Amino acid sequence: MDSPAAPDGHRVDGSTPVIIAARRTPIATKGGRLSNTPVDVLAAAVLRAVVTDVETVFAETRADDGADDGPATIDVADVVLGNCMGPGGNTARVASLAAGLGIRVPGITIDRQCGSGLAAVTVAADALVAAAARGDDRVRIAGGAESASTAPARITGGASYARAAFAPTGFPDPEMEPAAEALATSHGIARDRQDAYAARSHDLAVSAVERGAFDAELVTIDGFDADDGPRRSISTMLHRFPPLHGGTVTAGNSCRISDGAAAVAIVPERARGGAPGLAILQTATIGCDPATPGIGPVDAVRSVLAAGGVGLDDIAAFEIVEAFAAQTLAVLDELGLASAEHVDDRVCADGGALALGHPWGASGAVGLVRLFSRLVRAGAPAGTLGIATVAVGGGMGIAALVEVVR
């Protein structure tokens, strides 16, 4: 479908957080081409890239204004990164130092599981607004990083375990595959529909690679400059995958556990110097039943729409982390973005996690990087709106509403 007409850009004021740079590493399958790259090294690569991008864009805007005083330097106020399964030790601070940001730049690492990367951006944006009220317009960098390949084993009582509890005793705490299967059952999402959605993700991502849609957002790391996915022939293979739990969810219509990192640079609107970007208008994080964590984005998306005073028809681009086809389709069905016959063209238009992979702590930030490419880099007019959203283990959903500024 055609993108909706851009609404008037009247929602942005001088202290509104604006993303003016957005980068990600390639996404690699666990045990694959980034399996020897620690999480702080992944993060440092994107931190360096966004700092360089900001310096470049500020230098260009000064040149456009007739100034010629050499390369721009930026003052970074803080680095906020999401991470789920890393070694501890404050990954954001370690990565900040490794990236050469200087000893005075602090860092904080947060864990909201699969929503960590997007949550880090919302935390940084909120801090930026508070600082801007005091006249502090410094850049903040936020995002997420995950190295499933190098994540340490967790041990308690002498025994290792795969993950920490997402809910206490007395609450449901399903593994993610059974939780996706439960949504497939409750929402009547058949195996063939899940496979078709997975094929859609791969096909769109293949097309995006062919036309260079990812090129400007990717950071080369360890000689690796392309995603492991997508798989060109996946549509001919999906029927061969056996069910994971005797139902309809398979490895083929589920995401791959992955390594990767993503980051964005945020400044107040009044400090962007004419640089194009994505204004962060609204964010929401809302809990849901821990038994069905995958449905969490529904209320989060509805919340940012209501707070922003806009409807689904006003949104030009949606990015949802495609952990499972069943889970994603359940969310899209409830939002009215999919039916048994069709998925709205605005959803993950260049493919998503089903094709590229899901580096848990980074994926929410990857969604914002993708919106930056789909809207800002692609030349969408000022006022164009986008939404990024993620389902979170333990029963939560997180979403952000953004608007193009030029």
Residue 271 Cα distances to 123, 268, 356, angstroms = 19, 5, 34
Sequence-distant (≥ 6) Cβ neighbours of residue 382 within 8 angstroms: 6, 9, 404, 405, 406
Q: Is the dihedral of CA 270, 274, 275, 276 positive or negative?
A: positive
Among residues 114, 255, 288, 348, the one annotated as catalytic is 114
Contact 284, 399 (CB under 8 A): yes
Amino acid at 395: G
Q: At what angle do helices 39-64 and 91-98 cross, to 10 degrees?
A: 60
How is residue 263 annotated by DSSP?
E
Residue 284 Cα distances to 72, 121, 218, 260, 296, angstroms = 34, 12, 28, 24, 11
Contact 371, 404 (CB under 8 A): no
Amino acid at 285: T
In the three-class reduction of DSSP (H, G, I as helix; E, B as strand; rest coil), residue 48 is classed as helix
In the three-class reduction of DSSP (H, G, I as helix; E, B as strand; rest coil), residue 80 is classed as strand
CA torsion angle for 197, 404, 397, 343 (degrees, to 10)? -20
358 flagged as catalytic = yes
Residue 296 Cα distances to 179, 327, 328, 391, 398, angstroms = 12, 10, 10, 5, 7
Among residues 202, 255, 348, 358, the one annotated as catalytic is 358
Which residues are known catalytic residues?
114, 358
